[in-house]
């Protein structure tokens, strides 16, 4: 199965392109879908808590996006492009900043982002649920640390990260590891027979519960310590290498 911080609509096209139909943990565990695309788990952040988080984001002068049951919402298109450009430039060192900007604009055109003047309209809509909040900073984790520390005081939330320029806020039970454990239990699969591969901090809970856990070579150093095994970079067949190791070495 696929476990991703992305929403279902963002993740499905990449899988369809290579003919894969499988269960999916999306939004870090905010939503879980079976192989037929049916929603089987849904864990959101209540609106009161969301409003408080948005106040904190504004207080620290940061940019954020809300991922809901109706898609991605942003209140600032320019800052969204800036954040995506920074992300693409950092994760693809051979790409110039100018090219990263072009790629960011092109990518955002196909992501179906809903732009609003004020998040109030989203929160006042009782027909949709807040599933994840993404907070960005071009300065990286050092600028995000104060708000991360404050949010960590709320036991109803979990704060992780998928890249150096963001933090991801979810319901405390919306974690990849918890979702994976529930899925395995439902199917009668012992956790020692479960394999997981990850590269960033929103993968840690999953690496902790899987019997055979791998971190790719380009994973964050702080993530690698939670994996039992290391494999090559994802761009150098690291996933295939890890799968073959599990099979050949009976991990």
Same domain? For 77 and 88 the reply is yes
Distance between CA atoms of residues 239 and 216, nearest Å: 8
State the average pLDDT over residues 221-248: 94
Which value, to the nearest 10 degrees, does the dihedral of the CA atoms of residues 50, 155, 23, 65 take? 30
- Residue position matching structure tokens 């979810």: 170
Domain count, the chain: 3
Q: Do 2 and 30 reside in the same domain of the chain? A: yes
User: What was the pLDDT predicted at 109?
Assistant: 65
What domain range includes position 157? Answer: 47-171
181 shares its domain with 157: no
Helix locations, 18-161, DSSP H: 47-59, 77-91, 97-109, 120-123, 141-151
DSSP 41: E
CATH number, domain at 241? 3.40.50.1000
pLDDT of 179 above 80: yes
- pLDDT tens sequence across 140-171: 788 999 999 999 999 999 999 988 889 999 99
The residue from 137, 163, 188 where one domain ends is: 188
């Amino acid at each position: 199965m696929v476990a991703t911080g992305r929403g279902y609509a963002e993740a499905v096209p990449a899988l369809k392109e290579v003919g894969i139909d499988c269960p999916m943990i999306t939004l870090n565990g905010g939503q879980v879908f079976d192989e037929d695309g049916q929603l089987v788990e849904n864990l959101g952040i209540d609106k009161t808590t969301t409003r408080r988080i948005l106040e904190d984001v504004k207080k620290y002068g940061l940019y954020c996006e809300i991922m809901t049951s109706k898609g991605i919402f942003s209140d600032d298109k320019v800052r969204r492009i800036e954040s995506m450009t920074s992300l693409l430039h950092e994760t693809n060192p051979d790409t110039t900043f100018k090219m990263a900007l072009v790629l960011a604009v092109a990518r955002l055109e196909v992501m179906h982002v809903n732009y609003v003047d004020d998040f109030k309209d989203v929160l006042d809509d009782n027909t949709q649920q807040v599933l994840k909040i993404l907070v960005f900073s071009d300065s990286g984790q050092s600028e995000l640390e104060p708000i991360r520390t404050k949010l960590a005081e709320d036991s109803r939330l979990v704060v992780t990260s998928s890249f150096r320029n963001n933090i991801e806020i979810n319901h405390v039970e919306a974690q990849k590891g918890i979702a994976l454990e529930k899925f395995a239990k439902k199917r009668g699969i012992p956790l020692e027979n479960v394999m997981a591969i990850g590269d960033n901090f929103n993968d840690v809970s999953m690496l902790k519960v899987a019997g055979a856990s791998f971190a790719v070579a380009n994973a964050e150093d702080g993530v690698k310590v939670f994996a039992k095994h290391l494999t090559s970079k994802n761009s150098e067949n690291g996933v295939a290498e890890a799968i073959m190791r599990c099979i050949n070495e009976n991990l």
